[in-house]
Each structure stands twice: as C-alpha cells, then as structure tokens.
Amino acid sequence: MPSSESPRISPAPEQGTALSSRVGYVEDVAPGHGTLPPRAWYAASDAPSLSLNGRWRFRLSPTADAEDDAFAAPGYDAENWARVSVPGHWVLQGHGTPVYTNHLYPFPVDPPRVPTENPTGDHLYVFDLPADWPDRAAGGGTVLRFDGVESCARVWLNGTDLGEFKGSRLPHEFAAGHLLKPSGNVLAVRVHQWSAGSYLEDQDQWWLPGIFRDVTLLHRPAGAVLDFFVHASYDHTTGEGTLRVDSDVDGRVTVPGLGVDVATGEPVTVPVRPWTAETPVLYDGVLATAGERVPLRIGFRTVELADGLIKVNGKAVLFKGVNRHEWHPETGRALDLETMREDVLLMKRHNVNAVRTSHYPPHPAFLDLCDEYGLWVVDECDLETHGFVEQDWRDNPVDDDRWTPALLDRAARMVERDKNHPCVVVWSLGNEAGTGRGLTAMAEWIRDRDPSRLVHYEGDIDSRDTDMYSRMYASHAEVESIGRGLDGGTRKRRRLPFILCEYGHAMGNGPGGLADYQRIFEAYDRLQGGFVWEWIDHGIQDERHGYAYGGDFGEELHDGNFVCDGLLFPDRAPSPGLVEYKKVIEPVRIEGSGADGTVRITNAHDFADLSALAFLWSYQLDGESVDAGALPVPELAAGESADVKLPPLPAGTRGAEGGWTVRAVLAADAAWAPKGHEVAWAQLPVTERTVPKVSATARPVSRDGVITLGPGVFEARTGTLRTVGGVEVTGLRLDVWRAPTDNDEGASWQDGLRYGPAWRTYGLHRMRHRLDAVEVGDNALTVRTRVAPAARETGLTTVYHWTCDGARLKLAVSVVPEGDWSVPLPRLGVRFGLAGSADRVRWFGGGPGEAYPDSRSAAVLGRWESTVDALQTPYVRPQENGARADVRWAEIGGLRVEGDPEFWFTARRWTSEHLDEAAHRTDLVPGHAVWVNLDHGQHGIGSQSCGPGPLPQYVLRAEPARFSFVFTKTS
C-alpha cells in the first residue's frame, strides 16, 4: 500500500473540548492536522537540506492559552526572551522542572482533558536559506521535518499557521516551500507539555517537554523521491536475495556490488550474503528518480514465523537483548549521534544482540547504526496508557474508537519511517496499554502494510494480535513451564514462540538470576530469549545530588529511583550487571573439567562461524599466570562443538591452586571492537587450594587488662580484638546487616516476601551483641556471645575462638541460630574497622568487579588490586555493593586475611548503616575508618524490584555455620 493510503490525519477537532478554540487542538484526540503523510526516513540524499538545530528564543507560559500567537508573526521582538538549545527539553535547561512517574499520570485522569496548568514553551528561530538553496523557479518544494517534540506542537512559518501535531517520538512533516524567503524566515513553534497525546505516552520515564529531536528543512526537487519501501528478502535454500524497491515516484535502483540496475517496482534475484545481527552485510545502492538520488543500505534477510519459531533466514534466533530508552544525564532524550553510537558499541562489546526500543521509536539514526553494526531490533510504537490501570482500565483510549485514528497514525508514522531497516525484525504495538480494539486495528494495519515482519505486544496475553507470546518478569519456573509447553493458554498462543520482553530488572545492585534464565532459554526451543530491563539509569546530572531521580525536583507524585534501573550508570559506565550479562550471554561456550586435558568449545552463535575469533589459553598458579599460548580451535559453524586438546600441564604445579583460563578474543579489528577484545572465557580448575592450617601452639597471656595471643592483643574484659601485629582493629564482631538493595526492598506490588522490609521488621539492622563469657584457655581465647535484635526472641549464638601458632592469628567463628528464623539473613560474617589510611587492597579471588551469589558468573579468579574507593560500585541510590567473591586472601591496611572457606570481601569508608541512610552518593561521607566485611554468606540479589526474588538456592537461610580467618600483619 503506498503511503498516500496510510491512515490520514483527521482534520476536524473533537467537539466538546473546553479550551478556547485557539488551543482546542491540545485536548483533541485527533493526532493533528496540516502534516504530510508519513514516509520513509533517510539521513541524506543529494537534495539540499538545512538543519534548524541551534539556539532558539524561548518563552515559557504557565498555561496553553496564556499568550496569543502574535509571537509567530514576522517582526515580533523576542530579544528579551531566553534561549534554549534545540534539540532539547526546556525543563533540563533551567525552565521548570522534570517530573518522574512510573505509571501514574501526573494529572487528573479525565481523557482527553488536561490540566489548565499546562507549561507551554514558545520557540522562535529566525533563519536564512543558504545562498545555493534552489529557488522556487527551479520547481519542487521544501518540507519542514520535526523528528520529535513532546507532547504537542503548533507550527507557524513566516506567520502562516502550518498546523499542529501530537505523537512525541515520531516524525512530522509540513510542506513549507511556498512560505520560504531567502532570508529572515521566522519559524515559530508552540509546544504544550500536556495534551490529549499525553494519555498515550504514559511510559515509565521522566516527562520532558520540548523539541528534543532535530528540526530540518528538506528541499524536495521536482521529481524527488517521495516514499519508498525496500523489500530485500533472502532465500536460505538458494543463497539468493530478492530486491524490489517500491517507490511512489518511479525511478531506478542500482546496487553496484551486486550488478543490479532495475526499475523501481521490478524485482531482481541475485546471489547475496545475507544480513543478520551477527553478520550485518549491507549493500550500498542508490534509488534515483528524476529529481533525487537517495543512498540505500540494503540488508537481505527474511523474517518469518515457522514451526512455531521466530526465524531469520531459515534459522531460529535467540534474543540476548536489552530494553533501551533514550537517555543522556544532561540532555535527557535529546541524544547526539555519538551517544547513540556509544550505546550500540557498548551493546556489541557486551555480547548483546537485540534491542527493544522501549517504549517508542528511537531517533532514526540509531536504527542506521543497528543496521550497520548488527543488532536485532524490536521497534516499539510510542504508545502506553498504563495509568488507566488505576481505574481498572475504564476509558482506556486503546479501547475507544475515538482514539483509533491517533493510534493508527502512530503505527503508520513508525512503520513508514523505519520500514527500510534490515535490523527491524519485529514491530511492537506499544507497551502496557491494556487491551482493546485500537490495538487490534494497529496490528491489522501493520500486517497489511508490512507482512515481512512479525508483530509483538506484551499486553495481548492470548496473542490474538501478535506473532509471539510475550511476557515480562515471569519467574524462572514459569518460563521453564512455558518452554515445556505446559502453560496452557489459547490454542493460538500454544503454537507460538515465547520471549520475555522484559526481565532481569537491573535496578541498583543486580539483577541476580540472569545465568539461571539463560540456562532455561537455551534448554527449550520455544524460548527465544529476552530483553533485560533496562539499558541505562535515567539519572539526571545534578549539582545537589550527583544524579537526581524521582522526587528530587519536588514532584508531588513520583516513583523515586525506579527510574534508575539500567545496566549502565547514567554516565554510561557499565554496571556489574552488564558485565554479568555479557558473560551469561557469551556466544561461545567453553566447558570442561580442566583435569582431563581437553576443553569443549561450542559455537553458540545463531549464524556466524568462529573465524572472527582467536582462542588463547593460560595457566594460573595461585592466581598468577605461569604460562600462556594460543589454542587452535576449528572454525566451527553455528551450533557446532569440538573437544580441543589443551597443552600439557606446565611443570612445577604442585602444592599450589592451579587452573586453565581459556579465552575467545577478536582475531582482528571488528567494526565494534579492536583485535583482542574478549568475547568469551572460562576457567577450568585443575588442582585444589590448600586451606591455611594454624596449629594452636601459642598461649594466651592475660596481663594489665589485655590478653595477648601471638600478634593479637585483646581487651581482657570483653575479649575484643584491639591490634594484630600492631595494626589497630576496631569493633570486630558478627555482622548480618547489609544496606538493602533495590532488589531486596522489592516493589510494593510484589506478593512474596520482600526481604528489605522483612529484615527491618525483624530488626536485623539493629542487632545487639550480648557478651556471655571470655574464656582464656591453654591455647585459645574463646569469646561467647549472643547476637539478637531487640523485641525478638530469636538470636544467633556466636562463639569467637582465637588460636595462634606464634605468628598467625586464627579466628574461628561458630554461629548457631536460636528460635524460629523465618527470614533469611542479609549477610553472615564479621566486620571490623581499620585506620582510615588503609587504601590499597590486594586479593586473590573473584574479580575485578563485584559479585553476589546469583550474579557471580563474571567473577574471574585471579590476583587483583584496587583502592578502597574503587571497590565501591556507584549505584545512584546507595545500597549494598562491592563484594568480591571467592576470596582466598585479602590484604588491606597492613593486615592479611586468609579464609577457610573462601569468603566475600567488602571494604568501604562508611558503615552499612550509613550506606543504608544515604539517598544519593553525595550523602556518603568518608569517616575515620575503613570498614571491612569478611562474609561467609551473602543473600542473593534476584530481581524483586520488579520481578522475582532470588531463587531458593541463593537464599541465605539462618543455619548453623562455621568459618574461619587467619590474620597476619603484612610486611
């Protein structure tokens, strides 16, 4: 269907709106009027264009109708107006403030009415045409394009009202040529923060009004390209691609690399290399009409639903995806090209192969990058009406025919804009909009316009309108039962593949449980992977708080730091969650026991062979590499495995803990990472660690109020450790508290036990330590205590047993729970303070980053060094962080600690209590001590800030436990 038949914009404002007719369009359910039909977007052609981005004059009014439209007339004096950057959001440029809500509308729900308080930004830009701009006599015209304006804009050019539009993250074009003059053109844009369109844009994000994407003037020469649709399919049985470019304006299509030169509308079949996210082969071509040459980047690929699976080029794909909102901590959803590229490169470098553009079509340049570097894209429409859930979905616009033209307009603007991208394999109708006829109409329109892609919508639980069963935050057990086909559901749904369009809620520390999900995805064909929620924290750079989140701007309704739930910190530094995800989804599996001298390599790509990778081995003894080399691995095809022989064990390995590390790295520079970039790795242990043995030969001596045991000095009355070899140690005792993570806190709507609140109710943040006995024996100092919260009868009987061989001081801790412990423990270990001068940390264990029981896949066993500050993970809302896993020994502040068994190591310049109190990182003030936690156990992390909690195997139950540490002074 040519774009001229796309749903047209209803010109007539709805009856019955109460705003003055001058601004009646604001509350009109119609998408707008005066705009041109939607069409394919392309960055450049040989037709001239002029960017109107820049510093615009700006005036903010409190209501939609506070000012008349005199400002739009040429000659209006706006000299005393402020200036803002376009693209930009005025609330991030000193005018008004941002508002964050998850699903609550920050205004009364009375569709399509909006509040009288409706911040309205008048924008003015005066521009000249470049000297070589074709004059009118040359024919053709000029189009004025807005790529994104939130939420409703009215546009005047040289005093003439062009029309108005809604649909914030979608392009809108006006015919403008007849109004242009060589110089002094006045473009006036009135932008209203709230409009009927706001009801359709209730995504979980900041409300950020403004002209936040490019504004461009496009010359349209006579005979220019109008709309065109590149159909480029691939037949995997023949290895041939078929290209047909339908164009509203006839012309020719050339693809020199394929020897193609055909008329528009004419199919041509040639041998090609197909496009996939793993092998993003693009052929450069040109669409030439009488008046314009448009460059094409053509990727041949066929998407289909076959055998109940999502297949591309005949093969089922496994999505290892992320949900990406557009975000920059200074400019909000106004992103420059470099930021978009950084996102794509970071994704590729972390083994991510798919993006869901939650929850609106991104800046179109992002899709060019996905074509180029290779990412599967689920392109989602700018539609969410989640706030209607508060009234049981009554009056939901998606089930009210009056809104259907607006919904179809959004669907068309997305599909027409993005249809020529090979990366887009699935259209998504929107997010969390309930159910209704409007959605069905969108799905039908999309299928009719573009049968070459699949349709997604998570809210369609019966999959009536969709090609896949999609859910968010389903538990591991449920996903597994869906994999087994035991989930029931409608007949249609039972035959469809499954994706988790959101899972692994990456809010704060976490998510935990990703590896467990991945194992399930890989075990069942029907499960085609998922998309972690979400890519980046939407923290706003802020002088007061470092990064601001909901509530920091005095919003009366807000959802706090729920807006900071990404795998990247706001500055795009990868969080441990992303490093974990990279490991979990690596496209090569390296497995084996290490001891038998072979390693099994599996190519877990869906398409690519292993020719891009080189394999390396190294052998470590006690965490230090003693030998290394290249490992020849056959160029396995996707899905194949091979057993590869490792070299003979290096000599002299006795007595030390030893093992192989095998890594797959890029063999040559790739477009997205340099040669040597690590793609996958595994460690295969060979010889076991010898745990420290301390024979209890030294005698405790009690004199002058102190007890001395080898290098240890204790207070005689309390048995409290004071110094080890002269190094001061304060407050060493059992510790069970951690500053609850966002995932510990859980979401208010969760049914299950929410650990953070339960721990506080139980009083685990205010444990009391009762001293029962200090026993000085022949070869040991034993301190007996009971550790318990006020107001509870439960407790932990805790015995500290100190022994020494003359040089090394050993602490054996035994913990026996008493009473009915119905909550797990946050952590179990000891903590103590060292002098604040302690800074350098060395350890042998998991690293370099943090790890927790269900987020530890990426911890590499080795020797690591850090500073105390660098051990901290900068979660936007402070919370437990920074533990290093499987630590054999650690050195800090002049002390060396060895554990039996291995322990979790944490060190910070504040206590867990301070960490817990802090709302922002700027609240964390270093104290006089460095607090060290040596933990025998840590509770898992899970994903309960929106999804399921930790799996049972990661729950730290209060059970009898024994663990020990050996302290020595470092030299």
Binding site for ligand GAL (CB under 6 A): 102, 203-204, 359, 431-432, 472, 502, 533, 562, 565, 946
Identify residue 785 by its one-letter amino acid code: T
CB-nearer residue toward ligand GAL: 472 or 830: 472
The residue of the chain with the least Cβ separation from ligand GAL equals 204
Identity of the residue, 292 or 565, whose beta carbon is nearer to ligand GAL in the bound complex: 565
The answer to whether 586 is a known catalytic residue is no
Angle between helices 364-373 and 337-349 (to 10 degrees): 40
Which tokens in the block code for residue 298?
A: 């053509």
C-alpha distance from residue 268 to each of 228, 234, 271, 296 (Å): 16, 12, 10, 16
Residues 6+ apart with CB under 8 A from 817: 794, 795, 796, 797, 958, 959, 960
Q: How far is the CB of 550 from ligand GAL (least distance, A)?
A: 12
Of 204 and 278, nearer to ligand GAL (C-beta) is 204
Closest by CA to 98, choosing from 600, 653, 541, is 541
**Close Cβ partners of 514 (under 8 Å, ≥ 6 residues apart):** 504, 532, 580, 581, 584, 855, 857
Q: CB–CB of 189/155 below 8 Å?
A: yes
Closest contact distance (angstroms) between CB of 101 and ligand GAL is: 10
- Nearest distance in Å: CB 873, ligand GAL: 19
Q: Between residues 467 and 537, which has the closer beta carbon with respect to ligand GAL? A: 537
Q: Please, which residue, 472 or 934, has the CB nearer to ligand GAL? A: 472
Give the shortest CB-496-to-ligand GAL separation in angstroms: 20
Q: Which is nearer to ligand GAL, 470 or 620 (CB)?
A: 470
- In the complex, least distance from residue 886 CB atom to ligand GAL, rounded to whole angstroms: 31
In the complex, minimum distance from the CB of residue 77 to ligand GAL, in angstroms, rounded to a whole number: 44
Residue placing its CB nearer to ligand GAL in the complex, 472 or 568? 472
Give strand ranges (E) for 248-302.
251-255, 260-263, 268-271, 283-289, 293-298
At residue 785, φ and ψ (nearest 5 deg) are -140, 170
Residue 254 beta carbon to ligand GAL: minimum distance, rounded to whole angstroms: 43
Chain Cα centroid distance, residue 12: 41
Say if residues 845 and 890 touch (Cβ distance below 8 Å). yes
Paired with 140 in beta bridges are none
202 versus 891: smaller Cβ distance to ligand GAL: 202
Cα-based angle 951, 955, 957 (whole degrees, multiple of 5) = 150
The DSSP 8-state label assigned to residue 523 in this structure reads H
State whether residue 914 is helix, strand or coil: helix
To ligand GAL, the closest distance from the beta carbon of 73 in angstroms equals 42
3-state secondary structure string across 340-392: HHHHHHHHHHCCCCEEECCCCCCCHHHHHHHHHHCCEEEEECCCECHHHHHHC
Contacts of 427 (CB under 8 A, 6+ apart): 378, 379, 381, 411, 414, 415, 446, 450, 453, 454, 455, 456
Cα 813 from Cα 817, distance rounded (Å): 13
Whether residue 728 lies in the annotated active site: no
Tell me whether strands 82-86 and 54-63 are parallel, antiparallel or unpaired.
antiparallel
Find the shortest distance in angstroms from Cβ 102 to ligand GAL: 5
Q: What is the largest CA-CA distance in the chain?
A: 107
Q: 566 or 789, CB closer to ligand GAL?
A: 566
C-alpha 86/C-alpha 96 separation (Å) is: 16
- Rounded Cα distance between 780 and 346, Å, is 54
Q: Compare residues 173 and 537 and give the one whose CB is closer to ligand GAL.
A: 537
**Contact present, 930 and 891 (Cβ < 8 Å):** no
Backbone angles phi, psi at 83, to 5 degrees: -125, 145
Catalytic residue, from 278, 292, 380, 432: name it.
432
Catalytically annotated residue among 173, 380, 384, 502: 502
DSSP label at residue 92? G
Report the candidate in 909, 904, 902, 767 with the shortest Cα–Cα distance to residue 839.
909
CA distance 347 to 372: 13
Looking at the Cβ atoms of 503 and 954, the one nearer to ligand GAL is: 503
CB of 386 vs ligand GAL, minimal distance in Å: 8
Q: How far is the CB of 94 from ligand GAL (least distance, A)?
A: 28
**Where in the sequence numbering do the catalytic residues fall?**
432, 502
